[in-house]
Amino acid sequence: MKKVNWGIIGCGDVTERKSGPAFNKVDGSHLVAVMRRNGALAADYATRHKVPKWYNDADQLIADGDVNAIYVATPPSTHAEYAIKAMKAGKPVYVEKPMAATFAQCQEMIQVSKETGIALFVAYYRRSLPGFLKVKELVDEGHIGTPLMANIRLTRPPITQEMNLKVPTWRIDPSVAGGGIFYDLASHQLDFFSFVFGDITSIHGFATNGGKIYKAEDTVTAVYQFTNGVTGTGSWSFVTDPSAQEDVMEIIGTKGKVVFSGFGHEPVLLYNKKGELEFPYMNPENIQYNLIKQVVEKLLHNKPCVSDVHAAARVNWAMEKVVYGE
């Protein structure tokens, strides 16, 4: 492969700024086609982003000879279907997170990648962002001593599209998303901790529907352990009063702690015997740029890429175990 010519399946909101433009900014990478079931919206996206081709049929985009790599940016329920079709067509796949709607689908995707020899990547881009890399660096370099605990607290009120049940967002439909907002947001956090500490080896928890706004779980509590022995707790709720809003991740060690935001991208805070240190950082304009660059360089030059499909699948396993007890 001399250059990576991307086709996007599902050119919705996430592709407008977070990912889509980055495919044309990375050396050796070009966005040549997009697909959405609504052809008018696909055409509009192609026009606005100066993409040469558009489709309203995923199979046609996958079959396009000018496309040699696929970005699957649909809701999770179709991740496996499209990723498997693309890999069987000989085209590497970069798939949105969570990796799929179920752990079984993740396993099937990995198996097809193994059988075909075609690369598969998952868009857990926090693994490549400067603030999160600073957190990993501080832990790896021993600034908090031996890490002991990795905790998450994410609570907020419901937002408008989660309360409009006449036109509900897919993110609260378990048949499409795999679960509720927990699947959409906690997956990022759990994957990042897996990046720092190794796979999740054990997890137990409770998932409830406390707000009674929609049918999916809205409040989750979990305890977990990682490969290196670090344990932690997670608390998520997406139906709280505004006064309870919180977005905190923390890693506690024998000689200090690191505190940071999962979604606010605020400065990383280090507390140890030297006092409090603050590490501000700048994210790329397109938040997925760094990871997309790594994916392209892996495909073109076999350079390292932090995407880990096995860890991504394990996140699905963990969320499934908490929400469905499986």
pLDDT for 265: 87
What are the residue ranges of CATH 3.30.360.10 in the chain?
A: 130-282
pLDDT for 212: 96
Beta-carbon contacts of 91 under 8 Å, excluding residues fewer than 6 positions away, are 62, 67, 68, 69, 70, 118
pLDDT for 317: 98
Q: How far is CA 134 from CA 145, 180, 305, in A?
A: 16, 30, 17
User: Could you write out the DSSP letters of every residue in 266-323?
Assistant: PPEEEEETTEEEEE-----SSTTHHHHHHHHHHHHH-------HHHHHHHHHHHHHHH
Cut 0.75: pTM above it: yes
CATH of 4-123+287-303, one of 3.40.50.2300, 3.90.1150.10, 3.40.50.720, 3.30.70.100: 3.40.50.720
User: d(Cα 155, Cα 172) in Å, to the nearest integer?
Assistant: 16
Q: What is the pLDDT of residues 176-233, one digit of tens each?
A: 999 999 999 999 999 999 999 999 999 999 999 999 999 999 999 999 999 999 999 9
Query: What's the mean per-residue pLDDT of the chain?
Result: 97
Reduced to 3 states (helix: H, G, I; strand: E, B; else coil), residue 40 is helix
What are the residue ranges of CATH 3.40.50.720 in the chain?
A: 4-123+287-303
Element holding 109 (H helix, E strand): helix 103-116
* Whether 287 contacts 270, CB under 8 Å: no
Q: What is the pLDDT of residues 249-265, one digit of tens each?
A: 999 999 999 999 999 98
pLDDT for 147: 98
| Tally of residues, the chain | 326
CATH of 130-282, one of 1.10.10.10, 3.60.21.10, 3.30.360.10, 3.40.50.10860: 3.30.360.10
* Whether 19 contacts 12, CB under 8 Å: no
Taking each continuous run of H as one helix and of E as one strand, the counts in the chain are: 11, 14
pLDDT surpassing 80 at residue 326: no
User: d(Cα 132, Cα 125) in Å, to the nearest integer?
Assistant: 10
pLDDT surpassing 90 at residue 167: no
For 25, which DSSP code?
Answer: T
Amino acid 220 reads V
187: which 2 tokens?
């997956």
